[in-house]
Structure 1
Amino acid sequence: MSSALATIQAEQTLMYQEAASSADVVANQQTLNQDAVQQAVAAIRAFNPSAVVTLARGSSDHAATYAKYLIETRTGILTSSASPSVSSVYLAKQRLHGVLYIAFSQSGKSPDLLAGVAQAKAAGALTLAIVNVEDSPLAQMADLVIPLRAGPEKSVAATKSYIATLSAILHLVSEWSEDQLLQKAYKQLPQLLADAWQCDWSAALDTLKDASNLFVIGRGLGFGVAQEAALKFKETCGLHAEAFSSAEVKHGPMAIVKAGFPVLMLAQQDETSDGFNALIKDFEARSAKVLVAGERAVGPLSLEVVGGAHPALAPLLAIQSFYKMANALSVARGYNPDEPPHLRKVTETL
């Protein structure tokens, strides 16, 4: 397959088109969601939660990882991810009085999420659905709803809906925490996403086109998008990828990194920077093929990022640039990113 033909095909995929629309999706979300977010914030403050529990699967659960770090660092409230099977399969009754219970979903109809929210409401939690389908069973069940407003997503690989979920979380937490710098940064998000789509990650294609395994490294606010990137490598590129925190990767996984092993590092320009930069040097010492995306993180092969963004926005910008590269890599490896083998758009688990 010629590179020119691969480029044309890559730009014709639904994944490419839907990911490219993320800036417009977020701009529309900002305009339409202000009342819903303000109502949710008022209800949350009145409820005064002692803890937050998130419930999600797949890409939505990776968004929940971002929510955990953002909520805990901006509000100080302990945030934990629920295991859906505890309520849907084991039918265990949990003590959730005083808990804000947030369910993340695209379709809003997966049975295990519905079971979790029903059980949480019965246990005294305040429930919030962050969901794309506004008239879904999940939206109807929850006490509060923040719509994603991403519109229909036809590619099996979630892109614009994932970014819309991160954006909705960012909007909610910026208002809840009354963080004026974060509120100001959030308003800049649509333009920054448009800029991120123009960032050139094509240099990664030569490194990853023939790869069979790789690590994706993130930390803190950026760990959720590392998880999302690893998933997209698997489902759209047939490439086995595992996500690790830059702290956790040194506790065992580092042992399999040999010369030529590819590593994609999604750096945060925040308190995690020093440790991240030290890890880049550790990978270099093992002669790994290190791809680094970060404003001031430097590696053997640095990928272009949008500079000067608030650290809480950086993960959204990185994953937007990543989606464009992953789509091209999928086509280059002979896959159709819109129709991954054995997968469907809506996965209804119990």
Structure 2
Amino acid sequence: MYKAENEILTQYSALYKTYKYLLERQDNISGFYKECSPKRITFIGSGSSLSLCKSTALSAKLRLDIDTNVIAAGDLMMNFEFYENMIRNSLIIIPSRSGSTSEVLLAVKTAKQKLGLKSISICAVEHSELSKLSDVNLALPWAFDESICQTRTVTNLYTANLMLIAIITGDTYLIEEIGKAIEIGDDLLNNIMPDIKRLGEGKWENAVVLADAELEGIAEEGALAFKEICQRQSNYYHILDVRHGPMVIINEKTLVIIALTPYGRKYQEDIIYDLKAKGCTVITVGNGIEAASYGDYGVELPAFKNYAVNGIPFILVPQMLTLHKALAEGINPDRPEGLNPWIKL
């Protein structure tokens, strides 16, 4: 078994540990946030972590009466003067697999030296360079991916990010729903595995991932997985935005994954109908639209009140699809050529 395959299949056992770990640190996290009393929160990341920050920043903005920013670490590192006023008086939050990416370390160092900003880091490595820079570090070593492409780490960082927002806001119901999403994980994985394997081995050549609201960042990461793991062209768009240009290049060689939202269902049904008319394969993930009527296959999720929780099971679908495509094409999912696990400048 490839490392990437094992990391995908074991991500829910890792999530149990992450969930328990964050629960045990609720008082420390909430106390630190109250002590900081930031005027805004700035999320910093590179690659997959940057995509995850986009989801978490929106989750924070929707739940806190506070401004949130997302900045690519390399952009902030090189162009700090552009962003200085925007991030002043921020709490910076940095999710990272390695805690060793040069852009991240240099950006955080500059923010601390020039503006004295406080920070929370979430790393899948203990005693990382990033943890030494951070005022609060949350270490998730059980979530670390040894394969170059992130899968288990991504799901755990997304969940830890969302738990962080739930703890800061004191949203116990959100915490409970995150726990429920983790509880159903292994059963969901086992139930969908045969169909996802069949679809992953299909004749599609490129992929499109569609999602809105708090799932935009995790969906963008889902699109990135196709580029990295099975080396297929892929893109992420907001659901209705696919009509504004991208629809032109969607055809029978395209696989489309749609993260359904609980609102605007008629518009989503119409999009699925239009996509099917183009001849592509459509997979829906969410609650309420029957796959037999609208798409080629549907992954049914519980009706979570907190839409962001859908991101935890959602990311499993593109991860598994791209894994099985890679295996069917004889591509090593652990070591894509030209890609490093993290960047050292």
Corresponding letter in the other structure for 1:219 = D
- The C-alpha deviation readout for 1:183-237, integer Å capped at 9, x for no partner, is 2212223312222322325445447633322211111122222212211111111
Shift of 1:67: 0.5
Deviations 1:142-190 (A, max 9, x none): 1221223435421112111111101111211112122232122122233
Aligned pairs (5 A) from 1:81-100 = 81-90=70-79, 92=81, 94-95=84-85, 96-100=87-91
Aligned CA distance change for structure 1 residues 69 and 183 (closer, same or farther; 3 Å): same
Deviation at 1:108, TM superposition (A): 0.5
| 2:337 aligned partner | 341
**Residue-by-residue CA offset, 1:54-112 (whole Å, 9 max, x unaligned):** 11112112211220221122224332211323442345371233212111211101111
User: Which residues in structure 2 correspond to 1:166-315 (within 5 Å)?
Assistant: 166-200=158-192, 202-203=194-195, 205-206=198-199, 209-258=202-251, 260-271=252-263, 273-297=265-289, 298=291, 299-310=294-305, 311-315=307-311
3-state SS, counterpart of residue 308 of structure 2 = coil
Alpha-carbon contact 1:201-1:321 (below 8 Å) kept:
no
Is the 8 Å Cα contact of residues 213 and 239 (structure 1) preserved in structure 2? yes
Distance across 1 between alignment mates of 2:89 and 2:50: 22
- Distance (whole Å) between structure 1 residues aligned to residue 188 and residue 205 of structure 2: 27
Q: CA deviation at 1:301?
A: 0.6
Residues 84/152 of structure 1: CA separation in 2 closer, same or farther (3 Å cut): closer
Q: Distance in 1 between matches of 2:263 and 2:172?
A: 20
Q: What's the counterpart of residue 11 of structure 2?
A: 22
Q: Mark the CA change 1:203 to 1:189 in structure 2 (over 3 Å): closer, same or farther.
A: closer
Q: How does 1:128-139 map onto structure 2 within 5 Å?
A: 128-139=120-131
Instruction: Check whether the contact 1:226–1:266 (CA below 8 A) recurs between aligned residues.
Output: no
Quote the sequence identity (%). 20
Structure 2 distance, partners of 1:106, 1:54, is 15
The one-letter amino acid paired with 1:46 is E
SS at match of 2:25: helix
Q: 1:206 to 1:268 in 2, by over 3 A?
A: closer
Distance 2:295 2:180 in 1: 31
Q: Please report how far the alpha carbon of residue 139 of structure 1 lies from its aligned counterpart in structure 2 after TM superposition.
A: 0.6
The aligned counterpart of 1:3 is: none
**Comparing 317-326 with 17-26, which one deviates more in the overlay?**
317-326
Distance 2:191 2:314 in 1: 9
Q: 1:33 aligns with which of 22, 37, 57?
A: 22
RMSD: 2.3
TM-score (norm 1): 0.87
TM-aligned CA distance change 1:195 to 1:38, over 3 Å: farther
Change (3 A) 1:145 1:251: same
Indicate how the Cα distance of structure 1 residues 273 and 80 shifts in structure 2: closer, same or farther if over 3 A, else same. farther
Residue identity in the other structure for 2:159 = S
SS in 2 for 1:81: strand
CA distance in 1, matches of 2:316, 2:110: 35
| 1:274–1:74 distance in 2 versus 1, CA, 3 Å | farther
How far has the Cα of 1:325 moved from its partner?
A: 3.0
Structure 2 residue runs of 5 or longer lacking an equivalent are none
Q: Secondary structure at the match of 1:346?
A: coil
SS across alignment from 1:188: helix
| Equivalent residue, structure 1, for 2:135 | 143
Q: For structure 1, which runs of at least 5 residues remain unmatched after alignment?
A: 1-11
Q: Does structure 1 residue 102 correspond to structure 2 residue 93?
A: yes
Which residue of structure 2 lines up, in the alignment, with residue 320 of structure 1?
A: 316
Contact 1:62–1:227 (8 Å) recurs in 2: yes
* CA–CA separation in structure 2 for the residues paired with 1:100 and 1:76: 14
Partner of 1:8: none
Return the alpha-carbon distance in structure 2 between the equivalents of residues 119 and 248 of structure 1. 37
How far apart in 2 are the matches of 1:119 and 1:36?
Answer: 28
Is 1:44 aligned with 2:33? Answer: yes
**What's the secondary structure of 1:150's corresponding residue?**
helix
Number of residue pairs the alignment of both structures matches: 337
Larger proportion of helix: 2
Secondary structure in 2 matching 1:228 = helix
Is the Cα–Cα contact under 8 Å of residues 42 and 93 in structure 2 kept in the other structure? yes
